[in-house]
Every structure is written in C-alpha cells, then in structure tokens.
Amino acid sequence: KIPVIISTDPGIDDAAALGMAFYRNELDIQLITTLHGNVDINKTTVNALKVITFFGEQTPVARGMESPLFIEPVSTDVHGESGMDGYNFPESTQQVISEHAVEAMRSLLETSGEKITLVSIGPLTNIAVLLLMYPHIKTKIERIVLMGGSLSGGNVTSAAEFNIWADPHAAKIVFDSGLDMVMIGLDVTLKALIGNDELANHQSKTAEMFSATFRHYRDGDMENGVVMHDMCAITYLTNPDIFKVEPKRVTVVTDGPAIGMTMEVSGEPNIQVATGIDQEAFRNWFLETLERMI
Ligand code: BDR
Ligand code: CA
C-alpha cells in the first residue's frame, strides 16, 4: 500500500476525492490535514470530519493553516456557503486531533518506517510551512502529488488556477523544494467529468450524496458532467497509466497581474506535469470505485 497524507479544503470535489480514496485499497491514508481554501478553515475542518463520518472511516484529522503565507485568505462560491452545499451530512462523531497539521505531519513523517506521499488537493500552505520549519523532513517524503496549476490558462483569473492562486507564495516554496512532484492541473482535470450519465443508475448512499452535492457545484453541470479536479490526484496515485505526464520546469508567479500562474520556463525539469488524460479510463475508474462504496 502507498502511505499518504492528504491536505484538503472540502470542497465538493475534495469530498468526492476523499470518498474515492477511502475505497481504493492501493492507498493507506494515515492523516488528513485541513486548511483555508474553498471556504474558511472552520468550515473545511468541519466538512472533512463530516466526510469521514459519512464514509464510516476514522482517519485522524489535523487542523492546519488558517490563512495563506502573505496574502489574505480568499474563498470561492463554487461549492456554496458551507463548502459542501446540497446534502445534509450528519454531524461528525469525530474530533480533530490536538496537534496542528504541520506538527502532525512532522511527527508522522519522523516516526514512519517508510517514506510517505503527500497529496495536496487544496492550497499548499500546510506543506510549505512544513518544509520551511522542518527541512530535514524532506528525506521522509516520497513525493508530492498535487492538484493545482495549469499550463493552459486559469479558472480564477485568465492565468491562475485556484489552489495556486489562493497561496502563490506557498506554492512557490513547494515547487522550488527539489522534491519529486507531480502536478495534476487544469490541463487534465477539466476533462475529468462526472454527471447524470455516470450517477443516474446508481442507488447507493454515496451516489445519492454525489448527485446532491454535484448539483450544487458550480463547476460544470450534471448534463455534461461536473469537474472532478481533486479526484484526478487520487486516480493518478492508484492508476498513473490513465494520465500522460511530462517532465517540465515550472515556476510560480507570485506578483503582478499573473499572480498564481504556473509558468513553464526553460531549464532542468522540477516537476512531472500531467498533460493528458484517458477520459474513458477515468470514467471506468470512477464507476468501478463507486461500485465498492456504501
Ligand atoms: C481546485 O479549486 C477548488 O475549488 C477545487 O476543490 C480544486 O481543488 C480546482 O481549481
Ligand atoms: Ca480542493
């Protein structure tokens, strides 16, 4: 199994990604960390706990950074007021652990017998602070698989994708860290669509929750499919062959009108960038995983 720590800001597509991850036995989810992002940290943390309870899991959740490094926190209305509008999730029976997300990651990495993969499906603040405070921990990180960025235009501005734009300075620290990294950006995620066609014939509790939240998710529509940005990072972990990745040198723009842009520059590659997705295989991966879910 691949040991992973997931950093998330649920988020309707985060919730769907976490759900899929719980049912993929290739993965051993050791810790979930929350942070500011789609909505504020109080909401993303409550949402993460609700998702875990919904799926009957008990993965520890650590609350992380409540704001970006140097800019004010920003929210989006893409996921509604709560961050997970559309479905009445039962209150969670679980509490966050007492350690801050950065400390929880540090202690887990330090004591782990094997290297751990960091999966980021929100802004990169938690991971940047970890790398700044505890640089020695890099030797315990297998790699970072992140949903964020784009080489073909943004979704918040014409240049920037939300997760990078929400904390560009943190993203720059991570991109420049020298660690092994995979960037799953809009170049592929905008083609990962799930909607009525995939969900209509399923009766499960999960399919019901997905349909209800996806209807309120303002990134796509149920007719043509809504965009499963974050799920792609999970799909990549278990089935990398579904994607085409290419080594590139990518830098993060941290000021000016293109702030938050991930830009390809010349030089030694620092990241594997997903540039293609087999849409049929992604859809099958989704349906096959959904079959296993509650
Ligand atoms: C990213 O932004 C968020 O709204 C989604 O959850 C995803 O992580 C896509 O740009
Ligand atoms: Ca997200």
**pLDDT value at residue 218:** 85
Ligand 2 mean position, distance from CA 98 (Å): 23
Q: Which of 147, 152, 232 to mutate to test the pocket of ligand 1 (most atoms within 8 A of CB)?
A: 147
- Any idea which residue has 């842009």 for tokens? 261
Rounded average pLDDT over 245-272: 97
Residues lining ligand 1, Cβ inside 6 A? 11, 13-14, 38, 76, 78, 121-122, 147, 155, 161-163, 229-230
Q: pLDDT digit string (tens) for 80-89?
A: 888 899 999 9
User: Which residue puts its alpha carbon closest to atom 4 of ligand 1?
Assistant: 38
Catalytic residues: 229
Closest ligand to Cα 188: 1
Please provide the average confidence, as pLDDT, over all residues in the chain.
Answer: 96
pTM listed for this prediction: 0.96
Rounded average pLDDT over 147-175: 97
What's the complex ipTM? 0.98
